Structure 1
Amino acid sequence: MMNKRFFILLYSFSCWVSLLNGQEYPNFRWIDFQADKTVVVQGQGWGNDVVNRFDRLPGIYKDSVRQDVWRLSRNSSGIYVDFTTNSDSLVLEYKYGGKESLKNMSSIGVSGMDMYAKMASGKWIWVKGKYVSFEKDKMQLLFDGLGNDKVLFYRLYFPLYNNISDFQFGIRHNANIIWKSNPEAPIIIYGTSIAQGASASRAGLSWSAILGRETRSPIINLGFSGNGRLEKELVDLIAKKKASIYIIDCLPNLVAFKDEDVYQRLVYALNRLRMENPTTPIIFTEHAIATIELVNDASQKDYERVNRNFNRFIKDQVEGKDSNVYVLKAEEINLGVNSTIDGVHPSDLGMTQYAEASYLRLINRITALKK
């Protein structure tokens, strides 16, 4: 009797697992993001010109930028979709092409997706999902218990440090879905691994994602881990894209360059942006980690050195000459050791400090001045 009951339970469980892990969602219809061009993908500056659906740079740049930059541009950091739906459940399926995790980031931050709901009250609430499968060739994430009539819309963030393909979005057969867009000029961020999202535990906790939820502007994230070097090709591309604000946060990746090179790259970035956008606000950011006290201070000296060159650039090229250039000082970001995971890359706490205590405060001041 016991054996019979055990096998009945085992069979029932295996059927349930098969339902979740297989393609057997009889009450769902599937949206293929690669094929369905009605889906509005946000966080992309050149969405009509990409090779793969979730790339961040236009395809014609493949041979114009360094190989490392192109590889990182295929990571979907900062890409998201906004939508409304009356489906009580959603299923996401996709594949990823890189490593599941990194030494300084979790698997979910690197390869996972993240969802928030904007409520009628104006508050953002995180939406809990369940990874039914977490495999390179079959990621499957289930959101259930949805259908709250106080939700204005959902925002789904794509992985911070991986390139994805074969993305399928499942909703109930009888449900509706409407993809939202934001026609406002974006905030364009050009930066380093910190801008790309290291080391947030989830995609929605990168500072650019937090900033996006707190402003009305769409965000374009051009953070390239170890490769935010203020290179001419990237600066030229960004300058031609109209924005509400440009954020240049590249100093952490300029520590390998000599003083004059750091200075000249900053000068080129300012002049090129101003050639195309004479009055658009530009935020240049100091190397934030310069405020952290370390016993082994060799890297600290590098941080301070690039900041000295940066401040020389501001004094020579900006002060008294361009009132639409703003500086975010390291002291304003105010990262401490507990705000990072390794003395460099922000933890979730550090990401919040970056977004809310520094960038958002400065952007609100810029917005107030423009009124």
Structure 2
Amino acid sequence: LDPDKYLRIPEIYFNALEKENPVLTGLIRQTSGGMLKFKTDSPTLALKAKTTNENYGSGLTPNVVSGFDCYIYNEERCAWNYVNVARSENEEEVLFFENLAGEKEIIIHFPLFAQVLSLKIGIDKKAAIKKPKPFSVKGRLVYYGTSLTQGANASRPGINYVSTISRNLNIETLNLGFSGNGLGEPTIRKAIREIADMMMLVIDYDANAGATGSLYTTLKPFISEVREYYPTLPIVIISRIFYILEDYSAETKNKMAHRRTFQKETVESLNESHIYYIDGKTLLPEKPFDCFSDQIHLNDLGFYWFGQNLTDKLKQILIREGVVKEWKQKS
């Protein structure tokens, strides 16, 4: 494994990013959204890895920072079943499972807030690794956002809502959530519009860009620049989720409402059929307070509701856009 290849954005953009926002080059090396997908008949699955030792404070668990978690596809349930999470920061051997007979389709989700420096997957000597079944849709859903998108504060990698959407819809996703730095910089916009085989782009950076004001100067250029490369690509703009302090400060509530209105009106002003606005408040329950780990970030319950609700909305957009005629269950 070459750690320089496990980048969420190619290294060719790094020189420009160092001038615009040097924090991003470190965040890009963190492997949020990375996954291995394969079939194996091995009754045992183990892992050895080396990751960077990142310290992100009390809001993030060690498992979400540097852990790998494993899912097995269950044919009867037509769903991915969570099996185990494993941490191997210094190439210790750790087991995902043992004594599980039969051929299995596996997903291993990578750490969300650490860089993977080495990785080895262990199977029984007589077992084989095969290609997995293909994704249901060609192309990649690219999701640009903030620390929420990167996965704060889920308890383990697979709970991240971008990964949930990938499993739910059986599609390839690219997680471009950058903690505290979803600001719509010119080079980030350039890197995104030059991604090959995008089949949908989700832009969900209000929580960072709205706070700094860059939302107002970057959203329209962001959309228009992508349109030069992808004239009919479905683009989804998602405003910030409910902010707890909205209930206690009229000023804060008005600011959040203004940002939501700006994004909605920006989408409407473009008067085109391939762009959509989703109010982030609608992705959580009506009383969302137990969905938070702090004033800003979601806990596992919040990630669950966000992932399930957004799955339904994105599914309908993909059907409307003709990406699929109807959604077929993975078989």
Coarse TM-score class (shorter-chain normalised): 0.7 to 0.9
Residue 160, structure 1, aligned to residue 98, structure 2: no
Equivalents in 2 of 1:205, 1:334: separation in Å? 15
CA distance in 1, matches of 2:207, 2:53: 24
The match for 1:217 is 171
* Equivalent AA in structure 2 for residue 186 of structure 1: R
Q: In structure 1, what is the Cα distance between the partners aligned to 2:217 and 2:151?
A: 27
**1:69-218 to 2 correspondences below 5 Å:** 69-99=24-54, 102-121=57-76, 122-129=78-85, 136-149=89-102, 152-180=104-132, 182=135, 184-218=138-172
Tell whether 2:225 aligns with 1:275: no
Q: Which amino acid aligns with 2:46?
A: V
* Counterpart AA for 1:245: M
* Deviation, structure 1 residue 81: 0.6
Output the CA distance in 1 between the equivalents of 2:86 and 2:163.
21
After superposition, residues 294-309 of structure 1 pair within 5 angstroms as: 294-295=247-248, 300-309=253-262
Measured against aligned partners, the alpha-carbon deviations of 1:14-68 in whole angstroms (never above 9, x if no partner) come to xxxxxxxxxxxxxxxxxxx44xxxxxxxxxxxxxxxx613221111112121211
Please state how far the C-alpha of 1:256 moved relative to its aligned partner.
Answer: 3.4
After TM superposition, where is structure 1 displaced by more than 6 Å over at least 4 residues in a row?
none
Contact 1:291–1:330 under 8 Å retained in 2: no
Question: 2:306 maps to which residue?
Answer: 354
Alpha-carbon distance change, 291 to 271 in structure 1, aligned in 2, over 3 angstroms: farther
CA gap 1:297/1:346 in 2 versus in 1, 3 angstroms: farther
1:289 counterpart = 2:242? yes
Structure 1 unpaired stretches of 5+: 1-32, 35-50
Cα RMSD (Å): 2.2
Tell me which structure has the larger Cα radius of gyration: 1
CA distance in 2, matches of 1:89, 1:294: 50
The one-letter code sitting in structure 2 at the alignment partner of 1:175 is A
Alignment of 1:231 with 2:185, yes or no, is yes
Q: What per-residue deviation string (whole Å, max 9, x for no partner) do you get for residues 197-243 of structure 1?
A: 11111100000011000113200001100111112211111112231
* Higher mean displacement: 326-335 or 340-349: 326-335
Cα distance change, pair 356–188 in 1 and its aligned pair in 2 (3 A) = same
1:246 partnered with 2:197: no
Q: Distance in 2 between matches of 1:130 and 1:330?
A: 32
Unaligned runs of 5+ residues in structure 2 are 326-331
Identify the residue that residue 290 of structure 2 maps to in structure 1: 338
Identity, in percent, stands at 23
Separation in 2, partners of 1:243, 1:250: 19
TM-score, normalising length: structure 1: 0.78
Offset at 1:168? 1.6
Tell me, what secondary structure is at the counterpart of 2:181? Answer: coil
Shift of residue 145, structure 1, vs aligned partner: 2.5
For 1:228, the aligned partner's letter is G
How many Å separate the matches in 2 of 1:254 and 1:157?
28
